[in-house]
Copies of this chain bind each other. A is one copy, B any other.
Amino acid sequence: MSENVGFIGLGVMGRPMAKHLLAKGHSVVVFNRSTPAVTELVAAGAIAASSPADVASQASIIITMVPDTPDVEAVIAGPAGILETMATGAVVIDMSSISPVATRRLAALVAARGGTMLDAPVSGGEVGAINATLSIMVGGDSDALARVRPLLECMGNPERIVHVGPEPGAGQTCKICNQIAIGGALAGVSEAFALARKAGVDPARVREALLGGFAASRVLEVHGERMLKHNYVPGFRARLYQKDLRLANEAAAAIGVAIPATAVVSQLLNALVAAGGADLDYSALSTVLFDLAGLDTPKD
């Protein structure tokens, strides 16, 4: 692929992702609001651009990896944004986790300018970004996905790049579903461990018994072990999970779905953040339930 690739957003996730593209021989044009990350990427072989528009004037495939919905809106449709200079036939891949509703609106704007937008949020966190083992959930046109798949495979596990659907926003919806499903499992395991501990039963034995049966889950396996060891070093920070559940609640309100268990998970997470846990791993949600049960719980 001889096309230039644009990369906007060089944070904890974007930095290692852009580096994987460079390492695989791609020509990468980068933009970031703060300069140290740009300097780091230029040292690794990237070309620095002065704005998202400057990126789009030099690249026909443009990846965005920024914190939240308003950031993606600004980078694509704001002043000096991608839309100002984007070439006809360009592909914008938003790998941020944002609102599926906003994504549909942005995809329409990109399409009106002769481009194609894919939403491709990831899971796997910083470790997945560093090891290029991210799961990638893609919404949008399948031809555009075929064209950019080699780039995605530089950053994610090829077997876990799933085309969720042709509708813009399908990837973001899938990411929200992922966080909802995890939330239920996390609350269930947390409440089970709180009950076991308060009853004087060893939660390690409970975890072992449950892993053999229908309650088995990755959450029980991995987060369950964190809860046993009281090891809440992130991992995935509670503040970021709080943002993802905000997106879930917003999407549910926007499209008309009730998600009452997720509402409880959101409130427990609010309590965790209120107790100073914003930068703990999100599995520290268990500590809220331990505290409510009057259990003594060391926190890292």
Which residues of A come within 8 Å of B, CB atoms? Answer: 100, 123-124, 135, 137, 139, 157, 159-160, 162-165, 167, 169-170, 173-174, 176-178, 180-189, 191-196, 198-202, 205-206, 208-210, 212-220, 222, 248, 251-252, 255-265, 267-268, 289, 292-294
In addition to A123-B213, A159-B212, A260-B267, 12 A-B residue pairs with Cβ atoms within 8 Å of each other are A135-B209, A162-B205, A170-B200, A177-B196, A177-B201, A177-B215, A191-B257, A194-B257, A198-B256, A214-B218, A214-B219, A264-B264
CA–CA, A200 and B183, complex, Å: 22
29 contacts between A and B (CB under 8 A): A137-B209, A160-B209, A160-B213, A162-B212, A165-B201, A170-B201, A173-B196, A173-B199, A173-B206, A174-B196, A174-B201, A174-B205, A177-B192, A177-B193, A178-B209, A178-B213, A181-B192, A181-B210, A185-B188, A188-B188, A191-B261, A195-B259, A198-B256, A199-B255, A260-B268, A261-B261, A261-B265, A261-B268, A264-B264
> Residue of B at shortest CB range from A217?
B217
Neighbour of A164 across the interface among B137, B191, B193, B206, CB < 8 A: B206
Q: Which residues in B have their C-beta under 8 angstroms from that of A165?
A: 200-202, 205
CA–CA, A201 and B167, complex, Å: 8
Which of A169, A174, A188 has the largest count of B CB atoms less than 10 A from its CB? Answer: A188
In the complex, the count of this chain's copies comes to 2
Could you tell me the dominant secondary structure of chain A's interface residues?
A: helix
Q: Is the CB of B184 within 8 A of A180?
A: no
Q: Is the CB of B188 within 8 A of A182?
A: yes
Q: Which residues in B have their C-beta under 8 angstroms from that of A167?
A: 200-201
Q: Is the CB of B174 within 8 A of A181?
A: no
CA–CA, A200 and B215, complex, Å: 29
